[in-house]
Chain A
Amino acid sequence: MAIEIEKPGVGLSKVAVSETHGEDSPYFAGWKAYDENPYNESSNPSGVIQMGLAENQVSFDLLEKYLEEHSEASSWGKGAPGFRENALFQDYHGLKSFRQAMANFMEQIRGGRARFDPDRIVLTAGATAANELLTFILADPGDALLVPTPYYPGFDRDLRWRTGVKIVPIHCDSSNNFQVTPEAMEAAYRCAESMNLKVRGILITNPSNPLGATIQRTVLEQILDFATNKNIHLVSDEIYSGSTFSSSEFISIAEVLETRGYKDSERVHIVYSLSKDLGLPGFRVGTIYSYNDKVVTTARRMSSFTLISSQTQHLLACMLSNKEFSENYIKTNRERLTRRYDMIINGLKNAGIECLKGNAGLFCWMNLSPLLEEPTRESELALWKVILNEVRLNISPGSSCHCSEPGWFRVCFANMSEQTLEVALERIHKFMEQRRRRN
């Protein structure tokens, strides 16, 4: 049954008119407020500071230095001998050199504790496309994926919009630092069954967005066992794997599989991207790494709709296969993110605000529940509006991440200069002072 728009004229599809793109939620409303009044150190010092965008700007100089010193990466070498082939290359297998470089990079991030086969890498234009593609491949329209809360608001759109697949949340709460438990997974599975939804997989983000924390090994094992038990897929979105503050604390699902001798691994798929770790979201580079041959074949064919520019593949193949560069980048990036994290945590502590103990990512998970009038979503949104309009900070309310406990907020710290972060912390400090005085 097609939907026709009321006014006379030719109709659009259900997909086109649906609200599943989610762009009317507070997550995106805050962005609009920022766009209308963006903070600028010199020209608009009282504008809105964007703390709702998980972008990594702390290590641009390293990238720039590399590009300056290696012009062959952006120019196909002297006399451009490789240009012609590169310009014609639209093979959905992707440049072998680039896949090799990505595999190596992913291994380096995991401290060599897992191996990656370049032929299992499927390239997509961003992790957004990778997650959607995997959903098309693992689930039929009307089926369900289980996703632990709180989760990245974009999943509502990326996993559901065109695919017609549903998300059933696995509820996590602060009693155990929002970790997934077998009971919570069972409950979600039963909930899906009661709605007559066929569960096809579970999708985790590790390190977690918005929690900013890695998943512990025992929990990963429990999740894998659960997936095996139910005979469903496990997708591990490891987009922040290179943004952990210490290299040893991040355990990839790849490592768990390695320890188990890759037994029964065809249900596991990893999503990765260079948007966060390398701070290159504009380049549109994502990957699906699957241990399932059929998924690799199908994903590759379907990637025709979302190929990465061969020019970009060439550039990044050069950059990432430069061991000196990649090792230094990973190490330095980690150090700088840790520094930022410490800065924001201490700043918030001085203002009387607690955060979840984090060890990764470009954000922290802040607990403002003591400030809520009532422990409700409405109270949380009211507080969010106050912070947006009075304190002039755009932070992401936990409800937009489907957090079942009101009062938590995600605050990004890597998409600005240190000075701007100082300004933001001062504003928060002042705000908390005023609140205390009022009480």
Chain B
Amino acid sequence: MRLVVPLQGVVQGRGGLIFGSLIPCALFYFLQLYLKRHRSPNSRSNPPSPSASAQNLAELTRTSSRSNLLSRGSIVPVLISSLATSISKPNDSPYYIGLDKASEDPYDRIDNPDGVIQLGLSENRLCFDLIEKWMLENLKDSMRGREEGDLSISGIASYQPLDGTMELKMAMAGFMSRVMGGAVSFEPSQMVLTAGATPAIETLCFCLADHGNAFLVPTPYYPGFDRDMKWRTGVELIPVHCRNTDNFVLSISALNQAFNQTRKRGTKIRGILLSNPANPVGNLLSREMLCDLLYFAREKNIHIISDEIFAGSIYGNEEFVSIADVVDSEDFDKSRVHIVYGLSKDLSLPGFRVGMIYSFNENVLAAARKLTRFSSISAPTQRLLVSMLSDARFIEEYMVTNKKRIRNMHDLFVAGLEGLGIRCADSSAGLYCWADMSKLILTYGEKGELELWEKLLHVAKINITPGSACHCIEPGWFRCCFTTLDKEDIPVVMERIRKLADTRAASRG
């Protein structure tokens, strides 16, 4: 029977392990036992503790088989796992609810001008014309294997190395190096390719942490981490709060405090998860900060995962520094550093599922390689991308144009918000901005923020992501993705926000 640790607020900082967790656990367990015993055996409602009632059901089944219920069929539904039960519950995060609502009623300037405008999905649609043009000119040749002559299928039909072909790894190495300004070169043999960055990060968690261990994660962070890193690995995410006064940049003292508090309650920290460029704020980690983080990791003997998936979406003037660059140039212990990357953001190809783990640790690479059998990249896609990424002229044109267009959209969007008195955090990267809408909240706090989010979604009909979904400690901040818009849509967005703001100002009197 799984030992559930509820009431973490009680546990943290009060009473230590015995009083803080074991006694509430025991009470919780006995409560469930009591409830189970007093429930009707035919009840189909979701029991609070699947494993407890599962035992009850097992007894029930044995009696049923004795009285031969086969003719009537089972009266008890066959159970799924505890993990599946928790996942099957309707998703209550505003991040996902908003995405669903926007896809049910999508805005279209001509066909559906009253639809929900999607600003909650960090997708880049600004440079598809370039990719389409490349496809038209190159696709036929790209799908033919170079070695096999005219036979285009046998090379890609057969089993490929599960962690990606060497050709693609080499092409990715070149691309990543270009994306990160050419400051660092990447070694193909240190890459493990995966079907998207989502399995990359999950695979890393499986390699670096046991069930019940934890990672420190600066807030606000990408809501998807709660799913990707925790669901199947059983790992815990410990938020390390960052504040507006620091422009949401991480501080080592906050990290240290979170580390000590977590350790005190008996949970082992295995690493820090960084997003650089940050999502949802869009700022960059400085070289100094990266060094400090590496010192910290060494001191505590933990790993660092650096999710650099937005490295090619820099629009500001600040220079992006990859942790690979820092680790190369200074004398740091590389075996604790791992990078996650992918083509969903920088090359606008989320559907193709291309991600990677880049690590300096041979043991991690060996384990990760074996795990990629569960999430390998499809062979035709690998072949297509080898062609595209090796086209240096195209990549150069794409990167330059992409940067320009993201910057234009960013400037227009942020200016639009400023016109409404809404200020954004300083940022220089990503496909979104981090907007302070606290002035529009009726009651300052998480509840107020969610009320505003709800009105924005259902009344103003724009989907943006509230800070609470990103675990932001300060209420009122929202992530707005602007790279799924056309320029003409920006005034529409601003008008809708203005209308809502005016209604609220009026109702306040």
Contacts and interface: CB of A to CB of B under 8 A. Distances in A.
Contacts of A267: 78
A5 interface: yes
Interface stretch (B28-36, B199-207, B500-508): B199-207
Interface residues of A, number: 86
A261 B509 CA distance: 65
Contact of A295 (B80, B151, B363, B380): B80
Q: Which of B76, B350, B375 has the most CB of A within 10 A?
A: B375
A282 B379 contact: yes
A282 B195 contact: no
Interface in B374-425: 374-381, 384
B157 A301 contact: no
Contact of A140 (B2, B87, B202): B2
B378 A284 contact: yes
Contact of B81 (A3, A23, A67, A200): A200
Contacts of A83: 128, 131-132, 135
B38 interface: no
Contacts of A233: 78
A16 B371 CA distance: 9
Contacts of B2: 140
A191 interface: no
A329 to B, nearest CB: 13
A80 B196 CA distance: 23
Interface in A1-16: 1-3, 5, 9-16
Interface string B289-316: 0000000000001110000000000000
A67 B152 contact: yes
Contact of A74 (B157, B364, B380): B380
A282 B135 contact: no
B251 interface: no
Nearest to B368: A16
B60 to A, nearest CB: 8
B153 interface: yes
A295 B78 CA distance: 11
A222 to B, nearest CB: 12
Contact of B377 (A1, A132, A198, A309): A309
A158 B235 CA distance: 21
B285 interface: no
A64 B302 CA distance: 50
Contact of B208 (A16, A310, A312): A16
Contacts of A126: 373-374, 376
A173 interface: no
B378 A125 contact: yes
B9 interface: no
B206 A15 contact: yes
A16 B207 contact: yes
A304 B335 CA distance: 29
A294 B231 CA distance: 17
Interface string B144-155: 000000011110
A128 interface: yes
Interface in B176-202: 195-196, 198-199, 202
Q: Which of B209, B270, B373 has the most CB of A within 10 A?
A: B373
A71 B83 contact: no
A310 B381 CA distance: 9
B110 interface: no
B376 A12 contact: no
Given A71-B140, A75-B139, A298-B88, A2 B213 contact: yes
B355 to A, nearest CB: 11
Contacts of B364: 12, 16
B143 interface: yes
A80 B349 CA distance: 15
Contact of B336 (A10, A128, A139, A311): A10
A87 B131 contact: yes
Interface in A118-160: 125-126, 128-129, 132, 136-141, 143, 158
Contact of B80 (A12, A16, A137): A137
B227 interface: yes
A311 B384 contact: yes
A275 B467 CA distance: 44
Given A10-B302, A76-B135, A229-B65, A309 B378 contact: yes
A292 B83 CA distance: 16
A84 B128 contact: yes
Given A138-B80, A140-B51, A297-B88, A229 B70 contact: yes
Contacts of A71: 140
Interface in B155-179: 156-160
A13 B227 contact: no
A216 interface: no
B495 interface: no
A136 B195 CA distance: 19
B436 interface: no
Interface in A420-438: none
B12 interface: no
Given A87-B128, A126-B374, A297-B88, 5 more contacts: A88-B350, A128-B373, A136-B232, A140-B2, A231-B78
Q: Which 5 pairs of residues, A with B, have the shortest CB-CB distance?
A: A310-B351, A282-B379, A16-B367, A309-B378, A137-B84
Interface of A: 1-3, 5, 9-17, 21, 23, 53, 55, 57, 60, 63-64, 67, 71, 74-76, 79-80, 83-84, 86-90, 125-126, 128-129, 132, 136-141, 143, 158, 162, 198, 200, 225, 228-233, 263-264, 266-267, 279-285, 292, 294-295, 297-298, 301-302, 304-312, 315
22 contacts: A5-B363, A9-B336, A12-B363, A13-B206, A21-B370, A74-B380, A75-B135, A83-B128, A83-B132, A84-B132, A87-B352, A90-B353, A128-B374, A138-B81, A228-B70, A228-B73, A231-B78, A233-B78, A282-B379, A283-B379, A284-B195, A304-B198
